[in-house]
Chains A and B, each alone.
Chain A
Amino acid sequence: MNLTRNPALVEQLAASYALGTLRGGARRRFEALARTHASVRAAALIWQGRMASVAELQQQAAPSPAVWKRIENLVNADKQARAMQAARQAPAATGGWWASLGLWRGATAAGAMAAVVAVVTGLNLNTALNGQVEQLSARLAATPEIRYVAVLADDKSAPSVLVTYDPKHSQLQLKHVGQFHPSPDKSLQLWALPQAGGPRSLGVLGDGTVVRLPAGSDAVNQVPALAISLEPKGGVPAGSGPSGPVLFKGALLQTTL
């Protein structure tokens, strides 16, 4: 599109996009352009950063002292909830002084939290504790972390598949939220749509409402969008691109804010 040869117009659109006043079809066209043109994308990001500074220039005002008190209470409750959850997930200790202390049975959530902190900071206590700490650590490690999320929509913009990426377990999880199921002789295949180059297969979806696919961070980092195509049973041969229609697609978003 020759818009990209008009840097002043790109800048103007990027500024309106970041401000939020570029709406509707114009906004969607700009977003599509940004996904395919690095210069447009760069302008949009620069302007988003600039506009964020508008917030930094607002006048100050003093909140009532009660606000900190409320935050403090919530933070404490949050810490306790995390600690209690960690404690519940830890298996019952098989006797010994550790069990008899009854720490996990809710004597003090703060004690449990201290154990969690010990895991995090790698403090060496004693060997009896270490066994528990390792187990607790494994439980914490088993909790998924969500780095990316995408809602793939069909051609009518109806959300159909929810995708999340857990970098800790190098795993993509797909959840069908729409009604679509392929016929028995077909398979659904997930694709990364990178900024440069053709679609890269992320795997063929198995049956079931929830599907898990292994994927290294490299496979999803810097990938702006995902798509699902309808393919022959088992998917297309490795190395080739999608052969069937794209049923669902959507932007892959990093879960920062």
Chain B
Amino acid sequence: MPFMNAESPDSHLIALIDRVALADESALRELYELTSSKLYGVAVRVVSNRSWAEDVLQEAFLNIWRIAGDYKATLSPPMAWMCLIVRSRGLDFLRRRTSERADAGLELDDVLSDTVEGDSPNPMDTALAGEQAWALHQCLSQLDNKQREVVSLAYMRDLSHGELAEQLKLPLGTVKTWIRRGLEQLRGCMARFA
């Protein structure tokens, strides 16, 4: 198993978050250096625009700076906690844009449109992934590329079946079937890691 030794990346990240909670800027800097590539990747995925994603990353780190003290109260692994903050800020960003500009909802990005269309596997990245993410990685690897992509997009962008179908230009029934089968397979697979 990766990361089981005492000086695991997780415990290092947790120590940094604890220091950030005490308003230690150098700890925030180190946290940024270690995680910004991963977290920027998350932001790009959610908002699908590099410059917006930089705004999201910035907001997320300011958020982490302000609420690092709350980390203790959560049971999440540190990367999962930070990724969730980035995703939340990203979704907020999209909601704000949608409410500011009614026509902004469908600025489709090329990042998105080539993922499900093509057969490229859109490789997952296990750098910095915690143990649970490794398990999920194993299970997601067993899905069809398309199923995996739709599940991943649904989660990252908080999209309904209908919104996915619209964004991916796929029939609603197809989306529903891919998601249902994807989740069924994940359920069976993840049960082995429980």
**A binding-site residues for B, Cβ under 8 Å:** 8, 11-12, 15-16, 19-21, 23, 46, 49-64, 66-68, 70-72, 74-76, 78-79, 117, 120-121, 254-257
Contacts and interface: CB of A to CB of B under 8 A. Distances in A.
Nearest to A79: B23
A59 B45 CA distance: 9
A30 to B, nearest CB: 14
Given A15-B187, A255-B70, 12 more contacts: A15-B183, A20-B155, A46-B194, A52-B80, A54-B136, A55-B87, A56-B79, A57-B124, A61-B41, A61-B44, A71-B61, A257-B88
A56 B129 contact: yes
Contact of B132 (A12, A50, A68, A76): A50
Contacts of A76: 25
Contacts of B135: 53
B41 A60 contact: yes
Nearest to B61: A71
Contact of B125 (A11, A15, A60, A78): A60
Contacts of B125: 57-60
Contacts of A52: 76, 80, 83-84
A54 B129 CA distance: 10
Nearest to B132: A53
Contacts of B17: none
Interface centre among B45, B125, B183 (most CB of A within 10 A): B183
B175 to A, nearest CB: 9
Minimum-distance CB pairs A-B, first 4 = A55-B83, A53-B133, A60-B37, A56-B133
